[in-house]
Structure formats: structure tokens, C-alpha cells
Structure 1
């Protein structure tokens, strides 16, 4: 019998217990060392040299030469015991449990508890094998015991959790696969994720406690086995977005809100109306912003025209869906748009209508100018009910709505004017943008008193000519 390598007693008698189920060993402790034995003392077998090799390294435990032949018993006290320390006096023939090793003695009596069995269900067999470890905060608490096919066609993975750790498993526990290496390769780089070297080689399952809202069980009561930590602890929410056509969408297309990636498309199918049905997973932290009524989704892709180039990065990264959060209750059904909205919500102001013999070079999105400052844009153009004239609808931005008065005038800013005289030729255009995209100029006469503000959908005639005196008007217009 030894303590920290020092012999403190010897084995007296070995016999079977009265019920014949155990072996009792009587130990005689030398008088001067009896103070070392307390009610919390633990004893373990000394069996010569013990070598334990694993991916974690080599662990070698050796005992004195005497024990190589005859074996022995070691004493373990969790806290040091001093000779003059007051301890509870032990009665003779008190019985202690004998542990097979010092490491088990440190764990205590719970090491002999029966394993706690847990069943997990998943659609596919995880990349693990029998004996793969089960981790709690990366600490092994059990292992995979066996696999089976559930009556519903799901794969059943059974875990054996060590008895001393069974209290870590509760109703809100979530389990996920940490086996192998996960590689996410894209144009932005390669991301490699591995939980540990041990899990790379032998596979493994992790367990933790998640929020009460996690859907961690099947209806039958068995736990779900998730594919990743994110699915287990922060499950994404699935929404459906309907498009008339798929355009350049594909599985993996990202959803972005103000530049942040908030989800991605996981499937593309046709519904019974032959519309494209895109299912997308929204990350948990963005569900409240994205999954609201009136949220808008539109496709961002590269555009090349005489007016310039837009979103050229999508040529390399691929198209993505831009998200504009709405207001209202949470929902999962949305209508997608092929292009960005003509006017952002914060720019919807005063709508007015210009009447003209023809729409000319004005296009949707063409600017509306006042003193060469853009104050609005063209949002629509169509023929009137009798098809006799064209009607061009403008939207004046909110901060400029007071500029439009009942007597304001409008004329085309599109194209250019070529003025030829004795001194030469002069090319005039409001701006390069209006030269390419067309547009509308406006002003208000200053030779009359200030007229009332224009009302929504007021109609004005679009002038067919241009008078330079209009540019000299300097009517003061208060807000």
C-alpha cells in the first residue's frame, strides 16, 4: 500500500464478500500514516506499467518494481491531509471502493454508474462509427454505441453517455455532427472547418443546451441529429419567394440586406402556376428583419448601357437577391422582382403627369432637373385613354415637392441643341446623363406672385421648345 510512492501499509487478507459478488481486501495502515485516511480517501490498483496511446499522445504510468510482481494499492486524496489536522475519526473495518486506476479514482463513484442511453434520428447516416466520441464543450462524455434503421426510414444513432455525465443531457439538449472536415470554397476564398483532429479521424457528435425555441426533437420524442452547430443552436428559417422566371438564380444564390449576407437559396422548383418557387434559408439573427410582410426581394445583376455600368462585381460573384425589409407581421411567403424598384421607399414624393404629343427620348428612370439639380425621375409613360397623346408620369422627391407650383413649366432636357452662328457652332446639353438617358427640365416664372403647391397627379403640358429666358427666372420658393 503506497501514497505518492511511499509505502504506508500492506495488504493483509483477501477474501470474497459475504454475498460472494465482490472481493474484499483488508489493508493494514502503519500507525504513523493513519492520519492520511479520511472519509473522502480513494483507493486504486497499482499494476506496474500502464501505457495508453491515442491521437492525444502517450500516457505512461509506472509503479515501483515491487508492484510489477505483486501489484499493489495506491491512496488518492483530493486535498492534502496534514498530520495535525482535525479529521473525523474512522471506525475499524470501514469499507472503501477500489478503483481500477488513479484516473478513475479521481472521477469518483460515478464512474461505476450505468451508461445513459440516448437515441438520435437523422435522414442520413452520419460520418461516424461505433466508438466515436461524444463531446460536451469539446470534453468527451460518452461514445456512439450502435446504429439502426428506424421504422420511419430514418437512421437511428444510439449514444452511451457515461453515468457521471448523464446530468448534462436534458430536454433542451441539441446534438450535431462534428465529423471530418467541412470545406466552403468560393470566389472569396476557402474556409476549412474542423472541430478537432480526433473528430477528423474517428468522427464524433457534440451536444449542448440550446434555447427552448429550438426544434430539437421529432414528434416521436427522439432527439434530432443536426448536420452542424449552426443548424443545432441557431436554426435558419425557411421562406418562399415566387418569381415569374428564374433568370440567373441558382441554388446557393445569396440574399443580402444592406450588404450583409442574411441567407441563401436552397431549392428552385416550379409551382402549380408554372412560376419559379425559390426556397431560401434566413439566418436566425436576421429573421425578424427579413420575414415581415411587404419585404421586397429583387435580383441584382450586372448592367451595361450607354448610361454606364452597374453591379459589375456580379459578373464574378454571380447574381444575388437584395432585401428591403417591410413592416407588419412575420410571414414566409413573398413575391420576388426581376429588377430593383424604380423608386426607393424613402424617395416616393409627389407624382405629377406631363402631357405631350409624343414621349420623345424620355425613358423610365430619366432625371427631372431644376437648375441642373436632379429633383425627381420619370416613373412611367403611356398613352391616354383615347390614345391621342402621351402621358409621362414623374415622381418628385420629397425634399423638392414644394418646388412644383401650379404655374410651373416643363420642357425636354434630352438630346442636345446645335446653335450655329457667325462665331461658330455651340453644342448645348443639360448634362451628359440627359444626353444619353433623356430627361425633363422645369422652372417657375418669377413675374407672378407665388402660386399654390401642385397637387398629386396634376397635369402639365410638356413644352416642345426651349426659351433661354426660363433659365433666368429666380423665383424664391419657401419650404
Structure 2
């Protein structure tokens, strides 16, 4: 029996795992296909006049700095219209809603013109196509613009329309100026419908929009404005940029400062030039010299550049003056302040030369010097009778020269260095005390390095004569100085230090010989300048060793500086330790000193340093002659008194009415309850002073009166009566004690006791 199970038949399967891979590949391919379709760009066509600068596969489409497409193909337009080159652009799908009929395309490439450089970024990234989205019907065909479109009217800022008779040199992007600051630009320009005027669209940046008011005036500031006639040639330009690229300037007349804001929908007139715009600032100037001035023609010039015009001239009631009404450039508004100066320039011929030569050609004109910016605003002025001296901030070196006389010098006289003119005299006036003549001098910038502390100036005017047995010498600096006067200078030490003062001061010597006198220049500071003047002698032991050349106050006005020159013993005097003091007359009941100064005047005494020291050229004068007692030999003692009385330095100390010493100084004691008087006993008489000696005040008169004894008058000496004095006596042997020691202190008694006068010790004196 067969127990094996029966076999069951099962149909064979057609599925195999090998088909999984193709299925996956199919799904991936389908996904990639859908992805490519969904992200595929939109192809559009843009017609350009030329394909220059456009490359298929490289030139991008840029919007606000971001790439949104690329050129994929270029082809010529084969239509009958032959419109140029058709560029096929593949645009990103997200920009499809912006592809409308008013969307504009244009090619951006570097461009250099008079108005400036544009498209500079394409030098690195290459040319690109810019796009400006617009409205309209959806389309895929566009006509490119030949250049970038003008600024949109919805751009923040002020958009205005100007109407002009002609365009001039204005162009797109030409600048718009306000006080020479660019505040906007020209957007576009076109002829009006009737072709009679030019319509210029301008844009003002938001920060400057408020500057344009209802009564604002615009004028064409392009290039250079030339106005020539017999009165001269007038040139005007707003800036270098406007000369090259054209430009527009505007301002609101001063008398219209309350003008309301403008209505952008209303057009402005664009005037031909500044004068036509009549936007100037009106100023009134009172003049006493108005000969040759013509209203409407006489210009107002600043450094040769026209800054305004004389609009009206009216003679005042006094018939001696006139009021001129000027119209000045609005750019001068900040400088019409206190300190602004006006004067009339006309040709003048004098010995100093010809001035105002330019007025011979263009006629008399009004010159102006602006005041310091930021000062108090002013519109009424009074003209000067002549040109003012140069401002201290003008380029060059400004000096002040002091002289005892003017000579033939006048404004315009030359400043000469080796007979080469390097400057001129700017002003002539008296000093504050009316004792000297002060010359304001200007040296040109290229020669300012020739002036330093060693420079010496002299009056080179006229002829210098020197005569003697050997003949006569005639000398003149130049023919010009012979006629008109002049100042010459020499700088012996070109490496000498320069003064740090803004306006340096020098003495103007009478001649070259005096100016170039050799020696060492010193400065001596004194408390007061009473009796001192240029020429005051400096003496040592009665001999003149120098003199004072000029005197000036210190910057803080607390002292006086003497500028002196030492001509003898310069090495011994110009060093540390040297002392100076002023010698004045002294007159008292007992003493008269320095009486010669009553006739010859005060002088400076100098005491050279006793030891060699460092070189020194700046000194401070002592209030009085240095105390020479310190170097004197003898016995120095101290007397203690309740008060000084009439005792002073120099008072005689006597023994038996014989002068044996003197008072050298006095001071308060350490506790301020006593006066300490320092005395010096001559060496020969030093043994007279013993430890038991008595000192008393011998000043004045002692009077003893009695009914029966009568009147007794006592005084030590006539000198002690008038000036004061000290006397002393020593006890008899052996009560006198030992010799006094240097510095020993004795009491100074007010009265002398009779017994002291009876003392008569025998003391041997030193031989």
C-alpha cells in the first residue's frame, strides 16, 4: 500500500524582482520631468537696435541687483521692418506676472559723458539687461529702450517742471545746485507741443525739497557766462561740474524768505543766468567816493570775481555822500556780517606806483572783503575811503615794524630783500601812545621763510650820504625807493628760531649800518617801562655795552619786555647768572645818587655772571641793584629791637661818632615780635665789639630840659639826625668780655645810658 501523499500542481508565476529597478527609474524620470517642466523659465523676445555688448548664454537680466533671467539666443530680425536684433531671454517663472506690455528693457553698459560716468559696475560683471516692470496686457514680445528711462515720478522727493527759452548745455543727469551744493538732477527734457519752449523735468532730493518755495528762482548755471563791453569782461560759473556737464542753480530772494512751499504741479521759469533771475541779496552801502560808478553796470568784485552789481545809486541830502544799492550773489549771504568791508577801486598814480590798474580797462568798481562767517548778519554798510590792509589770515607773513619817524614810506612801499621786492607796506599809523610810527607789512608766502628772530629791517628810502676827507659816498637801495620809499631787511642767521606769534614785531632802523650792528640779541623783562625807550643804554662799570632796541608789553599785559642788543663782552653777559637792573635817580635828605640820569635818562646796569654758565638770552631784571654786602668782608652781627624806626640798609654804625660799619638788612624775628637788624662791622674795627658791648638807636635828636639846668640837645651826628644811625660802646677792661662772635645777637636799646658814654676801654685795632 502506497502511503505517499499525492502531488498538487500550482501554476508558474510571471513576476520577478528584477523589474523593481526599472520601475524606480521610471518614477524618478517622471519626477524629474515634472520638476523640469514646473521650473522651466519663460522665454520672451526683446528687440534691440543692435546686438553689440549682448552675448548668448552670458548676458543676464538684472532687476534691483538680482538676476532674474539670461539671454539664451540672438537672431537678426528678418521681417520687412528690420527692427534690429531679436534676443531670446529665458526669464524666471516667478516674474511671469510682470511680463506686460508696459514693462521696459534696456542694455546697461559703461558710458563716459560730460555729465559723468555711468554703468561703472559693468566693467567687472559685464554688460547686463535692466528691466523696469510695468502694467498692461500680458505679452512675450518687447521693444528695448535705447537708454535708461528717466527717474519715475513716484520716487520720493520733489519733481518739478521748468520752462526755458533754450536748453543750453543741459543734459540728462545735469546737476541742480543750491549754494554750490548738488541737491538734485535733471530727469529729462523735451520741446513743448507748440515747440516754442523747452520743458525740463528736474528732481530734488527729499532732504532738500523744503528749499524750493513758491517764489524760488531757477537759472541756467551751465558753462561760463560771458558779458563783455567797454566797461570790461564779466565771467560767471556756478562750479567746475556745471562748466563741463551743465547745471541749474536756484535761490529764494532774500525779501521772499516768507514764501510758502511750492506746488509741484505748477511749472517754474528757468532764467538764462543769475542776473536775469534777480535772486541776489540787496545791500545798502554809504559812500563818500562814488565818482565813476554807474547803476546797472558797475560790478562788485571779490578777488577779481564778480560777486554782485550796483543796482542803484542815490546822492544823499548832504550832497557829500551817496547810498549805493547792491545786489550780491546769494552765496555771499553767510559772509554779509559785521566786519564786511566795501571800497571803491579806481586807478591811482603816485610815487609808490600805479594802483587799480585794472580799473583803467573796465572802469571803476566796488571791491568787497567778506567778514568772518558766523558773525552778526548785516545789510547796511559804510564804505572805506581806501583799500583795507590784508587780513591776518591772508597767505603770507604779517609783520609790525616800529619806527621813530615815517620818512617817505607810505602804503604800497616795497619790502626788499637783496633789492628783490618780496612784500609791501599795508598800513601806516601812530602807536597807541602816539610816540612811534607803526607800519603794517605783508611778505609774500614764498618769501616768508626769510624772516626769523635774527632779521633786521631798515628804512631804505631816499639817499644815504657819507662824507669825509677821503671823499663822499652816495648810496640808494634802488630808484624805486629813491622816489617812493621802501624797507629793506637782512637775516644774518637763516637758521635762527622763528617767532610763534601770529603777527611778529620788529624795530625799523634808520639805516643799514645801524640795523646790521653786530652783537647778541637779548630780552629783559621789567615790571614797568617808565623812563625806558628804544635807545636806552645798557652799561657795565660806566661803559656802554649795548642798548634797548624796542619795547613791548607781554601777552598778559603784566610786564614789559625790552628787546636789547649787547655789543661788548657778549660771551660774559649772555649767560646764566648775569643780572640786570634799572638805574634811576635817587634824592633824599642825606643822599643823592645817580643824578646823571636826570639829564641823560635812565639806563640799565648789568652785572655779568661771576662764573661761566650756560648761554642765556632771556632775563628778568632785578627790582634794585643786587646786594653787594654779601661779598664784603667783616664781622656780621644781629641786633634785636622792638621796632625798626628809621633804620634802613646803609645806615651807619658808629663807635665814638666814628663810622665803623653799616646796616645791611632787616627782617622780622621768627615769632614776629622783634625786628632783627643785620649789621656789618669793618674788619679793622671788629675787635671793638665785645660780648659786653651795648648798642643803641642813635637816630634823631635827644632833648633834655630842666628848670635850672636849661635845655640840652644831643645827636650822634648830622647824618644820624637826618637818616638815622646806630651807635655802640664797649665796657672798660676787664668787664668788656671776649670778642663778639660772627652772627652773635645783641639788644638794640632805644636810649643810651650816661655810663655807657663814660666807657673808654683800650682795645688794639687790626692793622
Q: Which runs of 5+ in 1 are unaligned?
A: 1-121, 129-143, 157-173, 183-191, 206-213, 221-225
Partner deviation per Cα, 1:333-367 (whole Å, 9 max, x = no partner): 32312323354554364432111233233233322
Residue 409 in structure 1 maps to residue 673 in structure 2: no
1:369 is matched with 654
> Contact 2:639/2:677 (CA < 8 Å) preserved in 1?
yes
2-structure distance, mates of 1:243, 1:409: 43
- Provide the rounded CA distance (Å) in 1 between the counterparts of 2:722 and 2:518: 49
Q: Tell me if the contact between 1:242 and 1:336 (Cα under 8 Å) persists in the aligned partners.
A: yes
Contact 1:377 1:396 (C-alpha < 8 Å) held by counterparts: yes
* DSSP-derived class of the 2:721 partner: helix
The structure-2 alpha-carbon separation of the partners of 1:391 and 1:470, relative to structure 1 and needing over 3 Å to count, comes to farther
| 2:517 maps to 1:216 | no
Q: Kindly state the Cα deviation for residue 287 of structure 1 after the two structures are TM-superposed.
A: 1.1
Give how far 1:451 is off: 5.2
Distance 2:518 2:477 in 1: 27
TM-score by length of 2: 0.34
Cα deviation 1:209-246 (Å, max 9, x = unaligned): xxxxx9735259xxxxx9534654x5221222233343
1:370/1:443 contact within 8 Å kept: yes
TM-score for both structures, normalised by structure 1: 0.52
Aligned match of 1:347 in 621, 632, 649?
Answer: 632
Tell me the distance in 1 between the aligned counterparts of 2:744 and 2:671.
19
Say yes or no: does 1:199 pair with 2:475: yes
Among candidates 564, 568, 578, match of residue 281 of structure 1:
564
User: Residue 242 of structure 1: SS of its match in structure 2?
Assistant: strand
Which residue does the alignment assign to 2:763?
Answer: 475
* Offset of residue 430 of structure 1: 2.0
Pick closer, same or farther for the CA change 1:451–1:335 going to 2, 3 Å: farther
* 2:584 corresponds to 1:298: no
Q: Is the 8 A contact 1:365 1:379 kept in 2?
A: yes
User: 1:460 deviation in Å?
Assistant: 0.4
Shift of 1:438: 0.8
- The residue that corresponds to 2:743 in the other structure is 457
Alignment of 1:316 onto 2:599? yes
Q: What is the correspondence of 1:13-24 to structure 2 with a 5 Å cutoff?
A: none
C-alpha offsets along residues 64-91 of structure 1, whole Å, 9 cap, x if unaligned? Answer: xxxxxxxxxxxxxxxxxxxxxxxxxxxx
From 553, 560, 564, the counterpart of 1:269: 553
Given that residues 366 and 378 in structure 1 are in contact (C-alpha distance below 8 angstroms), is that contact kept between their aligned partners in structure 2?
yes
Question: Superposition RMSD on alpha carbons, in Å?
Answer: 4.4
Q: 1:123 to 1:320 in 2, by over 3 A?
A: closer
Distance in 1 between the 2:400 and 2:558 partners?
29
Asked if structure 2 preserves the Cα contact closer than 8 Å seen for 1:236 and 1:281, the reply is no
Measured at CA, do residues 216 and 243 of structure 1 come closer, stay the same or move farther in structure 2, by a change above 3 Å?
closer
Larger radius of gyration: 2
Question: Which residue pairs with 1:435 in the alignment?
Answer: 721
Any residues of structure 2 matched to 1:45-124 within 5 Å, and which? none
1:180–1:194 contact (8 Å) kept in structure 2 = no
State the match for 2:753 in structure 1. 466
Residue 292 of structure 1 aligns to a residue whose secondary structure is coil
Q: 1:430 to 1:145 in 2, by over 3 A?
A: closer
For the residue of structure 1 that corresponds to 2:475, the secondary structure is helix
2:663 pairs with 1:378: yes
Residue 512 (structure 2) aligned to one of 201, 217, 228: 228
The secondary structure found in structure 1 opposite 2:647 is coil
Structure 2 distance, partners of 1:203, 1:155, is: 26
Alignment correspondent of 2:372: none
CA distance in 2, matches of 1:389, 1:255: 41
Distance 1:217 1:299, change over 3 A: closer
Mean Cα deviation higher: 356-365 or 435-444: 356-365
Aligned pairs for 1:240-255 within 5 A: 240-255=523-538
* Shift in alpha-carbon separation, 1:404–1:469, aligned structure 2, 3 A: closer
Q: Secondary structure at the match of 2:660?
A: strand
Aligned length: 302
Given that residues 691 and 738 in structure 2 are in contact (C-alpha distance below 8 angstroms), is that contact kept between their aligned partners in structure 1?
yes
Q: Distance in 2 between matches of 1:393 and 1:413?
A: 16
Distance verdict in 2 for CA 1:280–1:146, change over 3 Å: closer
Question: How many Å separate the matches in 2 of 1:181 and 1:346?
Answer: 54
From 315, 336, 359, the equivalent of 2:621 is 336
